[in-house]
Structures are given as C-alpha cells and as structure tokens.
Amino acid sequence: MPLAHIALRAGKPETYRQAIFDNVYRALHETFNVPEDDQFMTITEHDAANFRYGATYLGVNRSDDLVYIQITANNTRTLDQKKALFRRIAELLADSPGLRPEDVFVSLVEVSKENWSLGHGLAQYA
C-alpha cells in the first residue's frame, strides 16, 4: 500500500501530471507487486520561489523540470526491488511525459506494516 507524494514546478498541463501518476503507479505495480486499484497519490505544484534543488548535486545536472517523488511503503522489499523501482520510474517517465532521467528524484520512506490505517480507524495490516 504505497503512498506517493509528487512535487513539481507549477505550470505543467493536466495530461503531463496524469502521465506522472500513471507511470509511477505502473512502476510500483511492476516492481513492488502493488495490486490493481492500490493507487494513493498526490501532486503538489510549486512556484519558483517555493521549489529549490541542487542543480548539480552528486554530478546530476537537474533542470526546472525536476520532479520529487516520495513514496512511503512497507519495509518488505529487497534492495533489488528498490533499485528496479527507481530505474523503472525513470524509464517510464522518460517515455511519458518526457522527463529527463536527471530530473526524476525518488525518495523511498519505509515503515512497518502496523503504521497504516486505510480507513475506519483500523490498522488493516497489523
């Protein structure tokens, strides 16, 4: 049950944002075996004054098209699955909406299964 928060500079069309949603979910489905309809994601848009990044940190040349993708997920995936997720997100977002791999920044936050309530005030995974 991943939860994805995606942040980008304001001004991209809805089709661009929807392509990000679709391809982040597709990568999660393919690499983390996320079930159909397990799609919990938000996108926030920020003006230039409220969106900062290191343009060349660690030798990666980023542009104003940078997208932050923070995924909170259960701490049950292997290192290989995590690497596959990062790679697949970058590949899919390069195809659509056309993001350069340098502009795909992914952060994975892992939590224990009992740290989720998906509704009704219940800890469904505990």
Q: Tell me, what CATH number does 24's domain have? A: 3.30.429.10
Report yes or no on 121 lying in a domain: no
Among the listed residues 2, 35, 97, 101, the single catalytic one is 2
pLDDT, tens digit, 9 for 90 and up, residues 85-107: 999 999 999 999 999 999 999 99
Report yes or no on 43 lying in a domain: yes
Report yes or no on 122 lying in a domain: no
Report yes or no on 126 lying in a domain: no
**Other C-beta atoms lying within 10 Å of the C-beta of residue 48:** 10
Q: Report the run of H or E that residue 9 belongs to, with start and end.
A: strand 3-9
**Other C-beta atoms lying within 10 Å of the C-beta of residue 36:** 7
Report yes or no on 65 lying in a domain: yes
pTM for this entry: 0.95
92: left (phi > 0), else alpha (psi -120 to 50), else beta?
alpha
Helix, strand, or coil (residue 43): strand
Report yes or no on 27 lying in a domain: yes
Total of domains in the chain? 1
pLDDT beyond 90 at 32: yes
CA proximity to 93, closest of 108, 82, 104? 104
Amino acid at 121: G
pLDDT, tens digit, 9 for 90 and up, residues 34-86: 999 999 999 999 999 999 999 999 999 999 999 999 999 999 999 999 999 99
Task: Say how far apart CA 73 and CA 61 lie, in whole Å.
Answer: 28
2 as an active site residue: the answer is yes
Structural domain harbouring 68: 3-115
Report yes or no on 125 lying in a domain: no
pLDDT beyond 90 at 13: yes
Helix, strand, or coil (residue 110): strand
pLDDT beyond 90 at 27: yes
Report yes or no on 123 lying in a domain: no
Task: Say how far apart CA 71 and CA 57 lie, in whole Å.
Answer: 21
Q: What is the pLDDT of residue 63?
A: 98
Q: What is the pLDDT of residue 1?
A: 83
